[in-house]
Amino acid sequence: MPKKTAVKSAASKAETVTIHDQKLQRGAGGELHQIAEGDTPILTTSQGGPVSDDQNTLRVGARGPALIDDFHFREKIFHFDHERIPERVVHARGYGAHGFFETYDSLAAYTRADLFQRPGEKTPVFVRFSTVAGNKGSADLARDVRGFAVKFYTQEGNWDLVGNNIPVFFIQDPIKFPDVVHAAKQEPDRAFPQAQTAHDNFWDFISLTPESMHMIMWIMSDRTIPRSFRFMEGFGVHTFRFVNAKDQSTFVKFHWKPKLGLQSVAWNEAVKINGADPDFHRRDLWQSIQSGNFPEWELCVQLFDQDFADSFDFDILDPTKIIPEEVLPVQPIGRLVLDRMPDNFFAETEQVAFMTQNVPPGIDFSNDPLLQGRNFSYLDTQLKRLGGPNFTHLPINAPKCPFHNFQQDGHMAMRNPVGRTNYQPNSRNEGPRESPLKGYRHFPAEEQGPKIRLRPESFADHYSQARQFYISQTPPEQRHIAMALTFELSKVEAVVIRERMVAHLMNIDETLATTVAQKLGFQSMPKPADAAMPTRQDLEPSPALSIAERGPQRFEGRKLGILITDGVDAKLLKGLSAAITKANAVFELIAPKVGGVTASDGSFIEAHHMIDGGPSVLFDAVAILSSTAAIDDLVKEATARDFVADAFQHCKYIGYDPSALPLMEKAGIADALDEGVLALPGEEGLSAFVTELGKLRVWGREPSVKLGKASPPIKG
């Protein structure tokens, strides 16, 4: 790999670019920002001091650690962390559960962290899932990044692995974090749109920030509309270090892999779920744990040394990049099981405080600038949210191992040092003392370089991995990305912002850019955006990046919605219910009235939902079990027709008995039946039907339910 060198700072190397008569200056990382000239005011601190560089934190050298005397970053992140009370600025909409982490094998060769020393060791955990942009009252199925934060209560103190369900981030430097969140949140003059990025502010910022393009591919994919917390991956995002007892370092990236496989929903389906049940993800986790179907993930790691880091095509400190699993396979090192809901939502899920700087001995940080900024910022966040320095006194945040220090007093202190001595060193030999042997030791990395604001040249490729992600998707997933981009940009009022984004897409995939441009009604294609480095065409697709390529091929953990009427075949219903249960899945019954129906054998069967309250969007697949005597009344129900039509439109598997055919006809799908619309076999063949449900979706159906007039070709 070429030697990693630094590009000059924006202040010393200013490239001026004119876009639609607007003069912009390109920063060291390729980002564009307005030039302070003429009547344009100069950016200053709150004390009035002019700011020379608002794009990069102050650090030692291009790839070194951040410096605490960066007063501009300190002020900016301090103010950002204190903007809202009492809910979180980001990740406000959250839900959590208790469980345990079980270590597979000893990792003593790599780390001295106590929880990784003994095979079979179980460590208590608390996990909080969340959306990022929405407020506390927003809906679960917003298109958004999902937080995946795990608090391990280890024997050496708490370890907070604070990650997301996406392994990269929008920005490379933490000084831009307030900006990206401000842009993504509702616009300040109108306080909408809520929990969505389909507006001018977000896309204006993104279109001027090329480093965001990889993240944009992820958030416009199905990854941001997961079917359930149980069916999504988690990532530590940054590069960390394992440090063993000999103070030897190994770089590590953390991955959570769901036992039940990956699964997302269609966008139209997400919109309807938000209307039918805005607590869909919360309810799913609650029901799963309460029924004993405990969600489970494997913790996997990518381990590598400095030689690999130096030889890798991209900088391992760049939070907008990944190491593909095909290049460096993940290794499972333990499992996470969630088996208990909180006793009180506010006391635990709302008051839990995660901080990236909470690590036990044996886990250390890299110089990833975004990680350095998070370590600096999170303590301020908790101080503001929880009212003072004693938030660790709350049971959900307190360590479960012995702990001792001389910290005292402060707002809402629930414990204080006992006795006369509250300091050290002291001649009474009282109180705790540091332990050079057992205490936390940072890896003694050597750093050098000028104290300056800059971005390393090795961070400058903003398009290659974005392209790799896109070409790693299956055709239906690529279609979904194009549809998502089209929808979001269609809500942007400023044409110039749409054009800038399509110009970026030209550097990722020309077909994608052309598709989006056609859908937006462009008359001609813009030129590709200026790129600090050309897009690499030699990166191979990574199947690990595709949800469809890693489908579970089983219906375990999913839910079948069975629409029933009076006269339903009792044996068929009993057989289908048994087959679903045997597959470790669940079913719910939907009927014209929530009270239930009378089956063919005269038995009364209670329903879980009435049709109005149990639309097909709430289920992974559906079945219609009716009777010739009741079908005429069912056909008259608009919600019953929607039940079938929506399931078909969302490419779900549909099972039916012969009496249900009139409903299929009325729903408009009788002439479009495909391999995903299945006549239910006899009682003995139902297990084969349930096996077929394991494919989850019939994406090949999607183009036929999205037929419309083709857009005219546009000029290049």
Please state the separation of Cα 244 from the chain's center in Å. 31
CA distance 35 to 496: 18
Last residue of a domain, one of 393, 425, 459: 393
Residue 490: inside a domain? no
CA distance 302 to 307: 14
Last residue of a domain, one of 364, 393, 422: 393
Half-sphere exposure of 151 (CA within 13 A, CB side): 24
Report how far apart, in Å, the C-alpha atoms of 408 and of each of 222, 402, 422 are. 48, 17, 8
CA distance 323 to 255: 12
φ, ψ (nearest 5 deg) of residue 360:
-85, 165
CA distance 654 to 637: 18
Provide the H-helix boundaries in 537-623.
Answer: 570-582
CA distance 147 to 131: 6
Residue 31 is predicted with a pLDDT of 59
Last residue of a domain, one of 393, 425, 441: 393
CA distance 704 to 669: 11
Residue 286: inside a domain? yes
Residue 57: inside a domain? no
Buried b (16+ CB within 10 A) or exposed e, 459-472: bbbbbbbbbbbbbb
Please state the separation of Cα 466 from the chain's center in Å. 17
Residue 507: inside a domain? no
Residue 16 is predicted with a pLDDT of 63
Residue 17 is predicted with a pLDDT of 58
Residue 127: inside a domain? yes
φ, ψ (nearest 5 deg) of residue 559:
-135, 130
For 195-243, write each residue's pLDDT tens digit: 999 999 999 999 999 999 999 999 999 999 999 999 999 999 999 999 9
For 609-646, write each residue's pLDDT tens digit: 999 999 999 999 999 999 999 999 999 999 999 999 99
Other C-beta atoms within 10 Å of 227: how many?
Answer: 26
Mark whether 480 is an active-site residue: no
With a CB cutoff of 8 Å and minimum separation 6, the contacts of 701 are 648, 651, 674, 676
Please state the separation of Cα 249 from the chain's center in Å. 29
Residue 154 is predicted with a pLDDT of 95
Task: At 356, list the tokens.
Answer: 């990236």
Mark whether 422 is an active-site residue: no
CA distance 255 to 233: 7
The CATH number that applies at residue 233 is: 2.40.180.10
Residue 501: inside a domain? no
Residue 35 is predicted with a pLDDT of 55
Contact 532, 320 (CB under 8 A): no
Number of domains, the chain: 2
Site of tokens 């937006």:
520
* Residues in the chain, pLDDT under 70: 1-39, 84-85, 706-716
Identify the DSSP state of 713: P
Contact 205, 180 (CB under 8 A): yes
Contact 267, 220 (CB under 8 A): no
CA distance 614 to 515: 36
Report how far apart, in Å, the C-alpha atoms of 494 and of each of 106, 188, 489, 506 are. 56, 17, 9, 19
The CATH number that applies at residue 676 is: 3.40.50.880
Residue 443: inside a domain? no
Residue 314: inside a domain? yes
Among residues 164, 274, 375, 397, the one annotated as catalytic is 164
Among residues 91, 199, 238, 462, the one annotated as catalytic is 91
Domain of 255, in residue numbers: 83-194+227-393
